[in-house]
């Protein structure tokens, strides 16, 4: 157990109120991972003041030097990868290989964005007029409020903090109250790397009070949020009313299409990984599998058998395939949706219950759950459950499958398994999602390309990616025209 603190203006400090809350292991409710400061508005005020005070010096720091600090932070995360991965498993619940992968993603982003310190490229283009040149450059936005979820407690802070810093912004970071110790370790790596005081500030506390106050703070210039649609929509309303930039990634109801010519063994593997990886607690989780009618029965039975072999338990145990869900609230929500699916007439063919015996007796464990006979209009096929529950839906043909995938409010990730290049071409053109996978599951994005969705999945792009990616979120374009002709010239008129 650790006692963690806020990090404000280069110092580790308690909250002004002195109040605390506990971070617990979702696999074992008796284990307290950390005692955490419960912050309030005064703490946010101090953090924003520190970020504002550090901004001028940080934006004038040459970008290559900013990148060098990020590189050192990535090296520290790499050095500490093993204990950080184990911490993730204890605090969030994901199995250890996934915890280590989460840390690696932050490391990759640190290296990538360190390189951007020597790039941050704009454009130089020719003018239509004599003795005139033109260029675009990236400039920082200012003070960013960053709000992150619990399911990727080191990777997602890396997605946000690293690009924000290399672009010259300063940051106030509010992590999820379910994974505050992981967030503290991430910020600790930046502090150890030599980040100047005030450039990154960490404030723990409840989202309703601390998060919303941060988003609306008059000295914050822009916001990046990852979390639920309901919370994101509320924050968008706050930012819209005060004309503030917000990038929001708000989840999904993702689908895998399995065509009649698919490699079924591969499709089953992809379905298992997409549905039950991270216990279904990914915004890109495959909570729907849309299967061509010719292979529906065979695929469904193979999928059920494969899922029935998954072992629930503590993610630190090597034999564990599926860990706990994050907390009591999510545990109750998932069980409620399972009951909704039964009442809607879907056929429960696997799981459907809490597991509270043996190694699972002290945690928030839900059995891997599969419904067949699901119709596209059912709530379990429309609403984000965020747990180990998947609906298998029958489709007449490719066109019908694509329509089923698209007829939902979300549009983050989708996938298709097919051996037909024409079918894959139609799918990648017509699927209304920000990410499309071909012969792979709906999860597994890499940091070299933008990440994000459409519709209720949000807007703005994160996770690296050059133009249209994180750099466009965390920097503004400035266009510069220089006329050295010594006379007035009028564009579009003097030709």
Please identify every residue annotated as catalytic: 249, 283
Whole-angstrom distance, CA of residue 272 vs CA of residue 309: 11
Tell which residue, 313, 325, 27, 336, has the closest CA to residue 151. 325
Residue 450 burial class via C-beta count within 10 angstroms: exposed 0-12, middle 13-18, buried 19 and up:
buried
Burial 117-137 (b: 16+ CB within 10 A, else e): beebeeeeeeeebeeeebeee
How many Cα atoms occupy the beta-carbon half-sphere of 219 within 13 Å?
A: 15
DSSP 358-411: GGGTTS--B--EEEEEE-TTSHHHHS---SSEEEEEEESSHHHHHHHHHSSSEE
- Give bridge partners of residue 10 from the DSSP assignment: none
Distances from the Cα of 88 to the Cα of 96, 101, 210, 240, 490, angstroms: 8, 10, 23, 34, 60
Distances from the Cα of 418 to the Cα of 291, 293, 295, 438, angstroms: 11, 14, 12, 8
Whole-angstrom distance, CA of residue 456 vs CA of residue 384: 11
- Give yes or no for a contact between 341 and 391, defined as CB atoms under 8 angstroms apart: yes
Please report which helix (H) or strand (E) contains residue 438, including its range: strand 435-438
């Amino acid at each position: 157990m650790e006692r963690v603190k806020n990090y404000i203006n280069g110092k580790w400090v308690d909250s002004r109120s002195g109040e605390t809350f506990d971070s617990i292991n979702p696999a074992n409710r008796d284990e307290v991972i950390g005692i955490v400061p419960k912050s309030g508005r005064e703490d946010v005020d101090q953090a924003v003041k520190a970020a504002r005070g550090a901004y001028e010096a940080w934006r004038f720091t040459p970008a290559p030097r900013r990148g060098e600090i990020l590189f050192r932070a990535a090296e520290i995360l790499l050095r500490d990868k093993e204990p950080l991965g184990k911490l993730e498993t204890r605090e969030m619940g994901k199995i250890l290989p996934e915890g280590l992968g989460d840390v690696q993603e932050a490391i990759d982003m640190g290296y990538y964005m360190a390189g951007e310190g020597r790039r941050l490229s704009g454009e130089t283009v020719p003018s239509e007029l004599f003795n005139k040149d033109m260029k675009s450059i990236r400039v920082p936005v200012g003070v960013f409020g960053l709000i992150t979820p619990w399911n990727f407690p080191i990777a997602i802070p890396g997605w946000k903090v690293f690009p924000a810093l290399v672009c010259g912004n300063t940051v106030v970071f509010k992590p999820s109250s379910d994974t505050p110790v992981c967030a503290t370790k991430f910020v600790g790596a930046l502090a150890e790397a030599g980040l100047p005081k005030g450039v990154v500030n960490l404030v723990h506390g409840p989202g309703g009070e601390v998060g919303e106050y941060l988003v609306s703070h008059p000295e914050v210039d822009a916001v990046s949020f990852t979390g639920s649609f309901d919370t994101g929509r509320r924050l968008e309303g706050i930012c819209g009313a005060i004309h503030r930039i917000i990038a929001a990634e708000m989840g999904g109801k993702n689908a895998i299409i399995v065509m009649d010519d698919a490699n079924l063994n591969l499709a089953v593997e992809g379905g298992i990984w997409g549905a039950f990886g991270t216990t279904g607690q990914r915004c890109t989780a495959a909570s729907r599998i849309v299967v061509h009618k010719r292979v529906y029965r065979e695929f469904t039975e193979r999928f059920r058998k494969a899922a029935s072999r998954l072992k629930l338990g503590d993610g630190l145990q090597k034999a564990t395939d599926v860990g706990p869900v994050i907390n009591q609230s999510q545990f109750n929500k998932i069980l409620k949706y399972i009951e909704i699916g039964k009442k809607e007439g879907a056929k429960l063919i696997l799981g459907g219950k809490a597991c509270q015996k043996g190694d699972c007796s002290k945690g928030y464990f839900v059995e891997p759950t599969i419904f067949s006979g699901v119709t596209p209009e059912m709530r379990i096929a429309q609403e984000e459950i965020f747990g180990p529950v998947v609906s298998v839906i029958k489709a007449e043909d490719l066109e019908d499958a694509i329509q089923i995938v698209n007829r939902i409010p979300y549009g983050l990730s989708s996938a298709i398994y097919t051996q037909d290049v024409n079918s894959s071409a139609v799918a990648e053109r017509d699927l209304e999602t920000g990410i499309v996978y071909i012969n792979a599951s709906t999860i597994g994005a890499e940091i070299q390309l933008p990440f994000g969705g459409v519709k209720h999945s949000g807007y703005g792009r994160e996770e690296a990616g050059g133009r249209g990616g994180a750099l466009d979120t965390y920097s503004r374009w400035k266009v510069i025209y220089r006329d050295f002709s010594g006379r007035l010239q009028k564009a579009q008129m003097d030709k």
